[in-house]
Structure 1
Amino acid sequence: MLGLGELELKVMNVLWAAEKPLRVRDVLERLPGERKLAYTTVMTVLDHLHTKGWANRAKDGRAYRYTPARTREEAGAGLIREVLESSGDADSVLLHFARSASGHESRLLRRALDRREPPENGS
């Protein structure tokens, strides 16, 4: 995901899959991969994710418990919005995407647009 390093994305995937807030140790135990990471590495990554606004944390005794600041879907939509706003030509980006969308993606977009509330000013 745009704005996240490889390890940050792995940690976010653990947070998104969790059903409850996780401590650093919980995240460490759930991380996939052959090599075992240091506790302090995972703690630093979670701190960075919190600073970047990707994760929330709440004090639990001397430790923190972490949760995602937004769902995976909200994060994805936010990244699309960021790309559109930074592109300098959102119309062209959207048109190019629309031409490259699969049939399934096109149907989803049409359904979402059909359900959208009309703008108040009529534009």
Structure 2
Amino acid sequence: MPNSFGGLERAVLDVLWAAASEDSWLTVREVHRALVGREVAYTTVMTVLDRLARKEQILQQRAGRAYTYRARASRSEMIADLLHGTLDEFGTHDRQSALVAFVEDASADDVEALREALARLERP
């Protein structure tokens, strides 16, 4: 799957998304501290943040001698990008059947959310 994330990458993204509501840029140390309940080395968190920045999944900026990080997009925007990327990777000829298969396997709540989203898009 394109742009799939490992467990630690998802946990780091969760920390950045939680801080995004405050429009905060976090240091490696702040992300490391926020990973409560995980036995992970500081340098591992630094590596994960660097890797996510190189994959352009998060933003990185210089702050003195260190870097700070924040989410590039909201959780829902990133999920939408992943879905679009997956559909694009397999070409347009299977796009409709893939969407139909997705909806057929979707929960009632997901189908209702899709209906509401489509209705909002159709309103002038």
Q: Tell me: higher relative CO, structure 1 or 2? Use CA pairs within 8 A at least 6 residues apart.
A: 2
In structure 2, C-alpha distance between the alignment counterparts of 1:111 and 1:26, rounded to whole Å:
38
Work out the percentage of aligned pairs sharing the same amino acid: 44
Specify the alignment match of 1:56 in structure 2.
59
C-alpha displacement of 1:117: 5.3
- One-letter amino acid matched to 1:93: A
Cα displacement string for residues 15-57 of structure 1 (whole angstroms, at most 9, x for unaligned residues): 111132110000010113342x222211111111100011101
Structure 2 residue corresponding to 1:83, chosen from 73, 81, 86: 86
Query: What is the RMSD computed on CA atoms of the aligned residues?
Result: 1.9
Task: State the distance in 1 between where 2:17 and 2:98 align.
Answer: 29
Match of 1:72 among 66, 72, 75: 75
Q: Match for residue 113 of structure 2? A: 108
Who is 1:95 aligned against?
100
Runs of 4+ in 1 over 3 A off after TM superposition: none
Task: State the aligned residue count.
Answer: 117
3-state SS, counterpart of residue 104 of structure 1: helix
TM-score, length-scaled by structure 1: 0.84
Unaligned runs of 5+ in 2: none
Instruction: State the alpha-carbon separation in 1 of the partners of residues 30 and 15 from structure 2.
Output: 9
